Chain A
Amino acid sequence: DAGVIQSPRHEVTEMGQEVTLRCKPISGHDYLFWYRQTMMRGLELLIYFNNNVPIDDSGMPEDRFSAKMPNASFSTLKIQPSEPRDSAVYFCASSFDRYLGNEKLFFGSGTQLSVL
């Protein structure tokens, strides 16, 4: 398997523009997570899905952020409108059901977002 695939690797945009980040989890994984990493706040969980259903979105900073998982092999994180303080590295991760004994996350390589 190719692992968790994220696109784009880098995104540079201007304030006010819409940004869409994409993620393809590992086939067969039923949990998908979106994290944001900054120097100031470290690694923060934004939202996670189980079987394509959002379970906990309490980490989503505000209404400008939204995430969807239309099927088991694809998820998006959208920021509209984007602001400079959204600049960060956004990671997608996936995992098996914990009760199957696979309690670990597999991370993608991340999307480096710069909002000017």
Chain B
Amino acid sequence: AQSVAQPEDQVNVAEGNPLTVKCTYSVSGNPYLFWYVQYPNRGLQFLLKYITGDNLVKGSYGFEAEFNKSQTSFHLKKPSALVSDSALYFCAVNDNYGQNFVFGPGTRLSVLP
């Protein structure tokens, strides 16, 4: 069975500083990995995905994520955080065999001015 862990419930970072939101996964076969962001009272929005190829993927709003197969991790990063990045971030995994996206519990990011 596939699963996703986000070890931090909350991440606080000062505006302008780099941010990292952590994600580890477990899946049989090759993983499809995703990051989604949820703003208050909104649905989840796609940020980026890793399917194959370069381990560093770039996505919306200046975010990027690094796929590390040996550590089964897919951490989300941004070089310089903005207050507007404050939101709930979800990591998700999908295997090659179904359409079932399994989401992590979410990490609340607060960027302080």
Contact = CB atoms under 8 A, between A and B. Distances in A.
Given A42-B106, A43-B90, A56-B98, A104 B43 contact: no
A103 interface: yes
B51 A103 contact: yes
Interface of B: 32, 34, 36, 41-46, 49, 51, 90, 94, 98-106
21 contacts: A4-B43, A31-B99, A42-B106, A43-B103, A43-B106, A48-B99, A50-B99, A55-B99, A91-B43, A91-B44, A95-B99, A98-B94, A103-B32, A103-B49, A103-B51, A103-B94, A107-B44, A109-B41, A109-B42, A109-B43, A110-B43
B32 A105 contact: no
Q: A interface, by DSSP: helix, strand, loop or mixed?
A: strand
Contacts, number: 53
Contacts of A56: 98-100
A105 B98 CA distance: 14
Interface residues of A, number: 22
Contacts of B42: 109-110
B106 A104 contact: no
A104 B49 contact: yes
B45 A98 contact: no
A102 to B, nearest CB: 10
A108 B43 contact: yes
Nearest to B106: A42
A31 B100 CA distance: 11
A108 B41 CA distance: 11
Nearest to A97: B99
Contacts of B94: 98, 103
A115 interface: no
A12 B100 CA distance: 30
Contacts of A26: none
A110 B92 CA distance: 19
